[in-house]
Structure 1
Amino acid sequence: MRPPREPGLAPPRVLTVAGSDSGGGAGIQADLKTMLALGTHGMSVLTAVTAQNSLGVQGAWELPVQAVRAQYRSVVDDIGVQAVKTGMLASAELVEAVAELLAGTDAPAVVDPVGVSKHGDALLAASALDSVRTKLLPVATVATPNLDEVTQLTGLRVESEDGMRRAAAALLAYGPRWVVVKGGHLPGGHEAVDLLTDGSDEHWLRSARHGSRHTHGTGCTLASAIAAELAKGKAVPEAARAAKEYVTGAIAAGFALGDGIGPVDHAWRLRDATEGPGARRG
């Protein structure tokens, strides 16, 4: 149980800079649910709007750089932030603007270099990849690419844990302080394995691999959970372990929604607390 907070005292503040998922499973919506579930106050800078459901992304429209800058300054200059998480940034112009904003903010930044959706739909222009490498990753406290994003950014195809080490080294060369290489797409095995490293300190984050196909929003949720834990004052390894535990539970409790891939359950801990560990979800 989390200790009660003093009445009137604001919880840790976390800002997500990402796109909207109209289906509610990923993007801004997943980020804010995660931040709430982990006892922080979530705030948002919208970068793009998507028409999206369990079957895929039917359309995407990025916001002007001016609108993104205004949202960011509005929140940071008045309310302040204790961690920032980035997700879908869509274009080189938005990547560069957000990187500049992060560089001027005294708070840890968790960068989820979103390139494609769960269904394979492009969420980042190919022309923006160089900006991610040279502008965004250098200001990241933690970068959290999945294996497809590793390939986009480094050209490396990862098929083993040794490959994850090589990928992490290639990503760290771009400048983030820490990298989480997410191994959820590794073939076979009974474990979901992620590698957290800063080039010298190495942490293998392992959990049981769940058979559920309802995993929409997993990447957004992990990055947001790390940001929330950092905002609460945890060091990166401790924050990543806590985030991995939360996401593993959310995947196990994922539920069907629509005719395609359903979301993870961001409220699984609340359901466990109110319904008991043997209660049926979904």
Structure 2
Amino acid sequence: MSVTGSTILPPSADELSGLSVKEIRTMDFSRVVGYTNEPNMPSGGAATVRRLLQLAGPLRPGLPLLEVGSNTGYTSIELASWTQHQVYGIDVNPLSNRFAAAKAARTGIDNVTFKQGDGMGGLPFPDGTFGLVFVSNVTSFMDDHAKARDEYYRVVAPLGVLASAPIYYRTTPPAAVVDAVSSAIGVTLPVTSLEYWKDLFSHPDATLIAEEAYQYERQTDERIASYLDRVMAQPHLLTAPAPIVAALRERLGEFYRLFDENLSYAGYSILVNRLHHPNPEPVLHTTRLATAPAVR
């Protein structure tokens, strides 16, 4: 397990002390994640990771796995914990990579490596490297979705899979909510549909072999507060100056409440596309799971 270009330590007391409350109040979500080590998990958390592995089926032996947009490492570490494959996590934020590597080391996960990079600027791997490439919702944050998609497929090996879990809108969100989320994440949030993402992740040589849709549940203020308690109880924050910790907690809480409102209009899907699938033909006589007949 390693992280390219940095140590694996969380922010030092001096780094946190060097922040100001005023600065924190204007930080975007990515920077707050970097300083707090907020888990930043995919929609559905670990259950989504396990499910996509089930839907992808047995992966090609000997090939590594890749997560694009690994952030603080949640998904890459989860993938590594359930497989014998080498896993790579790519993220643009060096501070998040440091956290991710430190977490993997603490939990004894040694088949994961974190590198700095981004999906649209060119992944630092040769063509056809990976048996599975996973992207959660990171593509939404990129300027050119198609360019990012092409880069994902470039590094997928033949008979490998591109798995994604994009967030989209099930009902039209208020413009004010979209604008607020765009400001929070530092990029213009696209108002997309499920069909948009299915079309985007399609490829002339790929077959959509699995698709599952989910919707979000609203969270209470009490549950958000409880989650904040857990995030802010990490050792590196317990020794930081109290005003800095309080400001980080307040800012993170603002994001959580905003995102919860935004997600009330949204859903996400697990999409699994297999490259060069040998049986791409659609099924004519579709089926569904039958219920057991009643005992007579």
Superposition TM-score, scaled by structure 2 size: 0.32
**Higher-Rg member (1/2):** 2
- TM-score of the two chains, using structure 1 as the length reference: 0.33
Which one scores higher on RCO, CA 8 angstroms, separation ≥ 6? 2
